[in-house]
Amino acid sequence: MLMEKSIPQTALVPDSDYIIFGGTGDLALRKIFPALFWRFCDGQLTDKVRLIAVARNSLPLDTFLDKLRPFCEDAFSTYDMDESLWADFARLITIMPIDIMSGKGGTELAAFIAEKKDDARPAIYYLAVAPALFGSACQLLSELDLVWPQSRLVVEKPLGHDYVSAEQINSQLKSVFSEDQIYRIDHYLGKETVQNLMALRFANVIFESQWNNNSIDHVQISVAETVGVGDRAAYYDKAGALRDMVQNHILQLVCLVAMEPPSHFTADQVRDEKLRVLQALRPLTKEDIVTGQYQDYEHELDGSSQTETYVALRMGIENWRWAGVPFYIRTGKKLSLRASEIVITFKPKPHDIFKKAGAPAGEDDLPNRLVIRLQPQEGLKLQLISKAPGPGGMRLFPSELNLSFNDTFSARLPDAYERLLMDTARGNQTLFMRHDEVLAAWAFIDPVISLASELAPSLYRQGTFGPADHFGGEDGSIWIDPSEDPGQ
C-alpha cells in the first residue's frame, strides 16, 4: 500500500514583472493568468509581483477581471477561498494599451517598468500574440530600452511552419535577446508526468539496463483528444496534426524516452541530449505514414480540405541504443477518449518454462509492459505475469504494479503553465526548447509533411481511434489503446 504524500512546499520565486503581450486574449485568459493565480494562492508569488496585460485596445480592469474569473473557478473551489485573495490578486494586474506595430503606448510601459527596475528584478515579456508580431515586439522592446540582462522573452508555438520560417523567427528573436534569455514553451514539458519520465529513467537504476534494443521490442506514444478543431479551424487547417502536435509535443516525448542520460540535470545538458535524438531520427518513407481526417471536418471548416486531423508514424532512431526498435506515434482529434500514454513493450521471454507442449498462446504470453499515463489520471503501470493464487496447477495471469498519482499525492497536480511560468522567473531553461532543437524538429518533419501531402487522408468516424493502418502487417493492429480508467 502506498502512503499518501502531500506535494512538497513550493519555494518563492524572485519578484518579477510579467508583461504579457496579448494579455487579454485567449491564451492569457485560459492559461497564463489562471496559472499565475494558482501560484499566487499557493504563496509562491508575492504581492510584489506586477502583472501587466498589454493589449491593442484598452479594456477596463473590471471587465477583464469578470472575463478572467470563470477561468480561475477551479482555484476558488479548491481553496474555498474568501474574496479578499481575488481582490489581492486583482491589485497586481495593470492593463496597458500598446500597438506593437506603431509603438503607440510603449513609453508608458517603459515608464511603468522603470519605476521598479533594478538589476535583480526579472522582466518577463510573454508574447502571447501571433508569431508574425514577434519581430516587431522585440524591436519595440529594444527601442524602448527594455532589454537588459534580467529581461526574458517567452514565446510559444507555432514557431514557424517549416524550417526556413522557424529560422527567420529565431533570427528576429535573437537580434534583440540572447539565447539564454529566450524561453520557448512546449507546454508538454511542463506536465508533471512528462517530467516524471526523466525521474523514472534517471533517478532509478532498474530500468536503465533494460532501456535499449536488447530488451525493448517497441515504443508507442498515443495522444488522443476528443475535441475537434472548433473555432481554431482557420489556424488548424494550415497546420494539421503533423505541425500542431508532432513537430513539437510528440517529438519532445520521443526525445525524453530515447535520450541518453545527461551527466547533470542542467538546461544545456538536457537539451544537448534531446537534440542528439532529433538528429538521429530515421528519415521516413510513405509506408511509415498514415493520415486521417474525421468525418464532418470539412463541414466544420466550410470548405474542402486535405488537412490531417489524425496522423500515425512508424519512426526509428539510428543509434546503438535504439537501432531496430520501432517508435510508433499517433495523435488525433475527435477520437473516442482523451488520453495520452507512452507504452514501452519489452521483448518476449527467451524461453517459457511453464508452457505445456502444444498449448495455444494465452494471456500469460503477454510481454512485460511499462505504461506511462501522461493525462488524465496520471500514473505509471508495470505489467507483469504472476501466478494466479490457489492450490490448483501453476496458472499464470497478467497483473500490474500500479502507481496512480491521484491516489498517491493528496494535492492537485499543477497545470503545466504554472511550472513553466515559475521557471521563467527562476531563470531555469531546462524545460524550454533551445533554438537548435526547434530547427532539428523541423528538419525531420518537413519531409514527412511533404510525403503526407501526397497521401489522401482516410476519413474516420468520430469517437473511434482513427483510421486503420498497416503497421502490424498480417498480425493485425499494433496499437494498445488507452483506457478510460487506467486503473482498471
Give me the residues that bind ligand BG6 (CB under 6 A), please: 187, 225, 244
Answer for the pair 20, 52: CB distance below 8 angstroms, yes or no. yes
| Helix/strand/coil for 180 | helix
Read off the amino acid at residue 433. M
Of 244 and 423, CB closest to ligand BG6: 244
Angle between helices 33-41 and 416-426 (to 10 degrees): 80
Q: Which residue is nearest to ligand BG6 (CB)?
A: 244
Burial of 233 per CB tally in 10 Å (0-12, 13-18, 19+): middle
Nearest approach, Cβ of residue 235 and ligand BG6 (Å): 8
Specify whether the backbone of 71 is left (phi greater than 0), alpha (psi in -120 to 50) or beta. Answer: alpha
Of 242 and 317, CB closest to ligand BG6: 242
Q: Estimate to the nearest angstrom the gap between the alpha carbon of 328 and the chain centroid.
A: 18
Kindly report the backbone phi and psi dihedral angles of residue 128, in degrees, each rounded to the nearest multiple of 5, phi listed first. -90, 55
Of 216 and 448, CB closest to ligand BG6: 448
In this structure, what DSSP letter does residue 83 have? H
Of 113 and 311, CB closest to ligand BG6: 311
Of 44 and 340, CB closest to ligand BG6: 340
Answer for the pair 294, 462: CB distance below 8 angstroms, yes or no. yes
Read off the amino acid at residue 316. G
Contacts of 366 (CB under 8 A, 6+ apart): 383, 385, 398
> Alpha-carbon distance 19 to 140, whole Å?
13
> Alpha-carbon distance 210 to 205, whole Å?
10
Nearest approach, Cβ of residue 291 and ligand BG6 (Å): 16
Q: Which of 187, 218, 249, 435 is catalytic?
A: 249
Of 50 and 187, CB closest to ligand BG6: 187
Answer for the pair 96, 105: CB distance below 8 angstroms, yes or no. yes
Angle between helices 435-452 and 163-174 (to 10 degrees): 160
Buried b (16+ CB within 10 A) or exposed e, 77-110: eeeeeeeeebeebbebbbbbbbebeeeebbeebe
Of 123 and 185, CB closest to ligand BG6: 185
Nearest approach, Cβ of residue 188 and ligand BG6 (Å): 7
Q: Can 161 be counted among the known catalytic residues?
A: no
Nearest approach, Cβ of residue 249 and ligand BG6 (Å): 6
Residue bearing cell 478510460: 484
Long-range Cβ pairs for the range 426-431 (8 Å, 24+):
426/13, 426/14, 427/122, 427/152, 428/267, 429/180, 429/183, 429/267, 429/271, 430/265, 430/266, 430/267, 430/270, 430/271, 431/189, 431/190, 431/195
Nearest approach, Cβ of residue 42 and ligand BG6 (Å): 21
Nearest approach, Cβ of residue 92 and ligand BG6 (Å): 26
Strand-pair category, 458-460 with 327-332: unpaired
Of 141 and 239, CB closest to ligand BG6: 239
Of 17 and 225, CB closest to ligand BG6: 225
Buried b (16+ CB within 10 A) or exposed e, 320-353: ebbeebbbbbbbbbbbbeebbbbbbbbeeeeeee
Provide the annotated active-site residues: 249
